[in-house]
């Protein structure tokens, strides 16, 4: 036996549907700040991972430079000549300097 309750059955279904929709909306609003926070943290992690990779590459380059200076006498000699201005006995050192008159004054 199926009794038609008229408008009340339709209103009851509408209220149940609206309650379900409001519950879903409440869950979305409740978790939205957490989702945004997680996204910011993921971006921060990606930035930090990029920094780590850059620093690891720099570390490898410095390790290679140290190893080269420890094992290769020509690399050590080149460094001494470039950075410290050393020369071998009997060589003539030529040094180029920039003159202050050639600099850009910005006017």
For residues 83 and 99, the model is more confident at 83
The mean pLDDT of the chain is 88
3-state secondary structure 42-64: HHHHHHHHHHHHHHHHHHHHHHH
Burial of 5 (0-12, 13-18, 19+ CB in 10 A): exposed
Question: What would the pLDDT profile of 41-87 be if each residue is shown by its tens digit?
Answer: 999 999 999 999 999 999 999 999 999 989 998 988 888 888 888 88
> In degrees rounded to 5, what are phi and psi of residue 2?
-110, 110
Contacts of 87 (CB under 8 A, 6+ apart): 81, 93
> Are 80 and 86 in contact, with CB atoms under 8 Å apart?
yes
End-to-end CA distance of the chain: 99
């Amino acid at each position: 036996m199926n009794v038609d309750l008229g408008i009340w059955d339709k209103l009851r279904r509408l209220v149940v549907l609206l309650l379900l929709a409001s519950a879903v909306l409440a869950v979305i609003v409740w978790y939205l700040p957490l989702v945004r926070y997680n996204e910011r943290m993921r971006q921060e992690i990606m930035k930090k991972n990029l920094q780590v990779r850059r620093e690891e590459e720099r570390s490898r380059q410095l390790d290679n430079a140290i190893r080269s200076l420890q094992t290769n006498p020509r690399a050590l000699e080149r460094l001494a000549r470039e950075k410290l201005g050393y020369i071998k006995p009997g060589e003539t050192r030529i040094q180029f300097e920039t003159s202050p008159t050639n600099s850009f004054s910005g006017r």
